[in-house]
Structure 1
Amino acid sequence: MVERVSWVPDGVNVELPVSARIYDYLLGGAHNFQVDRDTAEQLIQVLPVRDMARLNRSYLRRVVLHMVESGIRQFLDLGSGIPTVGNVHEVAQEADPSCRVVYVDFEPVAVTHAQMMLQDNENAIAIQADLRNPEAILRAAETRRLLDFSKPVGLLIVGVLQFIPDEDKPWDIVARYREELAPGSYLALSHFTADSMPKAMAEGAEIFKNTAEPITPRTREQVLAMAEGLELVEPGLVFTPEWRPEEGEILGDDPTRANLYAIVGRKP
């Protein structure tokens, strides 16, 4: 029987796996369907995707805290996915309640749930849009209400660019967002790679072909190019658990198993 519950907008194809809901399942969330769970379990057989998801989430938390400590009080989170514990507004507003966050995703379940979650939060909002259309996002009334692009912004593109194929020119897309940022702004991104586990990632990519968003893993050099023109924050381009781990965090014997590159840059 096809699942359809109150938080599912009309028109959503609940029989097609979607990355946001797969990620939600891997993080222990409840806003996913059997088809998403089945796909996640297939991925688990070929890749350490639970660890990949957890380590990516931890990286996001550290990045947000670093940005707040660096004076950032407004965030644009592209491809934000389904809100789960430890999302950007929770981390940022716990550090400083004045922080403002605009979430952007094109997956209706993610946006609907985020809007429900944020309805009493004046400093955070979720909009449904495709990050491949920067102008629509940057000029949206909701974005302009919360974010002042004449001042530094924390731009987050975490674990999403692998879903943008080469023909859609992801480097140009990221460049357009970078162009909008005021000096002192930060860009943080993470991205799937096959550099460390090429065979396993190829098998994972085959599974993703049966979802709404096939993946394009990219090399170190390709990911580094997405931060062109920015001053890289130490330690530069590394795997997610290696980006400024907090004391007591366990990296494991092989951080490359994270299979996501992480990078943070500051606009001079």
Structure 2
Amino acid sequence: MTAQAPHPPIDTSKPHSARVYDALLGGKDNYPVDQQVAELLPVEAKIGAHQQRAFMHRATAWLAGQGVTQFLDIGTGIPTEPNLHQIAQEIRPSARIVYCDNDPIVLRHAEALLVSRPDGVTDYVHADVREPAIIIDAARETLDFDRPIALSVLGLLHFLPDAEKPIDILRTFTDAMAPGSYVVLSHGASDVNEEKGEQSADEYKKGGIQLALRTKEEFSRFFEGLEIVTPGLVKAPEWFNGTPAPEQEHSGMYVAVARVP
């Protein structure tokens, strides 16, 4: 298992987006500071977290069904079963998966829980998405970048303000990936319920976390130069491709899957 910092300290005095997400999903691997943020967020945030998780399940299953056997999941979060590798390896037992997150608590759980099937490989990189070159170099130990890879960045881009150039960060990853690779993205919407979005941003800000929700048009810019697959850029419950249609419900989460030409 790859890790830039084998056992970095866990700061329990400040909330972390990965642990807040775990709290929203009803997980137990978070701290009071994370729970406080989660409890003050509108109920739509909890709904969106579950919708995003379900989208990941459907998209991963579809990609594995398309023959993809390599996955790079950035912003992994605390493992919640079934995780990406379990879905992929159920369909492709030899699939190779690299998880990446910058929260030390994710590393601790990854070491114990992100266990591959015997025919496949599961690895973990402790790094920050803002350092794409470091992640790519570490991921090369497990993944073959000359073959298609599915890059998954879920629930993370809306924590990167424009000043941090998230589109350029994503482009660094896709430029390193072979044609026929895929990108799986989700993003919180600023143009669905502005009042709830502002409430979420305020509560995260109190915890020292910046939330940068974007419009559908702004989110679409992350896919420039890529080929968005059916059903397009839609809200999370609306994305299904060769899988049973999920229950349709209100959502403030945009998602899409795109192919690298």
Residue-pair matches, total: 252
Contact 2:25–2:46, Cα closer than 8 Å, also in 1: yes
2:192 corresponds to 1:196: yes
TM-score, structure 2 length as denominator?
A: 0.92
Please point out which of 125, 128, 131 is paired with 2:129.
131
Further displaced range: 210-219 or 170-179: 210-219
2:248 corresponds to: 251
1:1-12 counterparts in 2 under 5 A?
Answer: 11-12=9-10
In structure 2, relative to structure 1, the CA distance for the partners of 1:70 and 1:36 (3 Å cut) is: same
Per-residue deviation, 1:198: 0.5
Please point out which of 251, 254, 265 is paired with 2:258.
265
Q: Aligned residues: percent identity?
A: 38
2:3 corresponds to: none
Per-residue deviation, 1:118: 3.0
Per-residue deviation, 1:155: 0.4
2:164 corresponds to: 168
Per-residue deviation, 1:11: 2.7
Gaps of 5+ in 1: 1-8
2:154 corresponds to 1:158: yes
Question: What secondary structure is seen at the aligned counterpart in 2 of 1:48?
Answer: helix
TM-score, structure 1 length as denominator?
A: 0.90
The one-letter amino acid of 1:262's match is V
2:25 corresponds to 1:27: yes
Contact 2:240–2:246, Cα closer than 8 Å, also in 1: no
2:86 corresponds to: 90
Gaps of 5+ in 2: 1-6
1:5 corresponds to: none
1:215-254 counterparts in 2 under 5 A?
Answer: 215-244=211-240, 246-247=243-244, 249-252=246-249
The one-letter amino acid of 1:85's match is E
Per-residue deviation, 1:69: 1.1
Q: CA RMSD in A?
A: 1.6
1:13-51 CA-partner distances (Å, limit 9, x unpaired): 2121111111112212111112211211100xx341221
1:95-106 counterparts in 2 under 5 A?
Answer: 95-106=91-102
Per-residue deviation, 1:248: 5.9
1:51-95 CA-partner distances (Å, limit 9, x unpaired): 111100000011101111111000000111111112110111111
Question: What secondary structure is seen at the aligned counterpart in 2 of 1:20?
Answer: helix
CA distance in structure 1 between the aligned counterparts of 2:128 and 2:245, rounded to whole angstroms: 37
1:188-210 CA-partner distances (Å, limit 9, x unpaired): 10001111000110011000102
2:71 corresponds to 1:78: no
Question: What secondary structure is seen at the aligned counterpart in 2 of 1:86?
Answer: coil
Contact 2:71–2:151, Cα closer than 8 Å, also in 1: yes
